[in-house]
Structure formats: C-alpha cells, structure tokens
Structure 1
Amino acid sequence: MNEVLTMAVFASFALLGLGLTLLAGLRAWSGWLELKRLELGGAAQARGESSGMAELIEMADLKERIRKLESIAACVDL
C-alpha cells in the first residue's frame, strides 16, 4: 500500500510540474505573439506617416512592375 501511495504522489507531482511548464510555455508564446503584433503595428504606423511623394514613388514602382509582368505574360521581350 505504501508503494502505491508513493507512486501516486510522484505521478501527481509530475503532472503538476508538467502543467506548470505548459502554462509558462503558453504565457511565453502569448508574449512572443504580442511582441510580433507590436512590431507589425509599428511598421504599419511608420508607413502611415510617410510623405505623399514617397507614396507616389511607390505607386509608380508598382505600376512599372505590373507593366513588366503583363509583358512577360504576353510573351513580349522588353
């Protein structure tokens, strides 16, 4: 009987330790995800504060890329 009780105590402590480890891991994962959300939000905010000229240059670049892709799709050499 004593041996069964000892094994039950060990098993309960092991299960408790596993639960605490999983809880700590989940909190770390949640913190990492929050950090990535903040990084992405900061990058989006930095892009939102760009000047109008930078947006025009970026739009022209995108239009040029689209034109090149359309010419490739039509099998036309540039």
Structure 2
Amino acid sequence: MEPTLVIAATSLLGLGLVAAALLRAWEGWLALKRRELDAAAKGHREPDDQRGAGPIALADMRERIRKLEAIANGVDL
C-alpha cells in the first residue's frame, strides 16, 4: 500500500471524527438554548438571577448619567 494513500485515508478519517464531534457539540448547544427559551417563555427564572437587581442597575445608570452631564457642563465633582 502506498504511504500517500494511507496518509490521505487517515486524514479523511480524522476529519470525519472531528466533524462528528463538532456536530454533536452544536446539537447540544442548540438543545441548551431551546431549554433556556422554553424556561423563559414559561416565566421561570434562573437560580442565579437576583430579584431587585433591575432597580439597582437603573439607579446606578442614572447616577452615571448625572456625572456625565456634570462633566459635560464643566462642573467639577
């Protein structure tokens, strides 16, 4: 058997294995995203979500805007 043929066949087999692994990972990622969308549609919250974080983030953003406006007006804080 010619060495070039062996190398080509081995490379093709390796490429096929990598492609199969990537396809399986892609399908797993899609399944994860489907579960996340289903949970969001049903109104379930993630366990790491913090209740009340929205108003805190809004207050922080207002404070940043106030500081930027003061800088734009030339007021030294």
State the TM-score, normalizing by the size of structure 2.
0.64
Number of equivalenced pairs: 61
- Misfit runs of 4+, over 6 Å: none
Q: CA RMSD in A?
A: 2.1
More helix by share: 1
- Asked if residue 62 in structure 1 is aligned to residue 54 in structure 2, the reply is yes
- The aligned residue for residue 44 of structure 1 is 37
- The aligned residue for residue 14 of structure 1 is 7
Q: How far does residue 35 in structure 1 lie from its aligned partner after superposition?
A: 0.1
State the TM-score, normalizing by the size of structure 1.
0.63
Q: How far does residue 45 in structure 1 lie from its aligned partner after superposition?
A: 0.8
- The aligned residue for residue 71 of structure 1 is 63
Instruction: Structure 1: state its 5+ residue gaps.
Output: 1-5, 52-57
SS where residue 44 of structure 1 aligns?
helix
Identity in percent: 8
Q: How far does residue 63 in structure 1 lie from its aligned partner after superposition?
A: 4.2
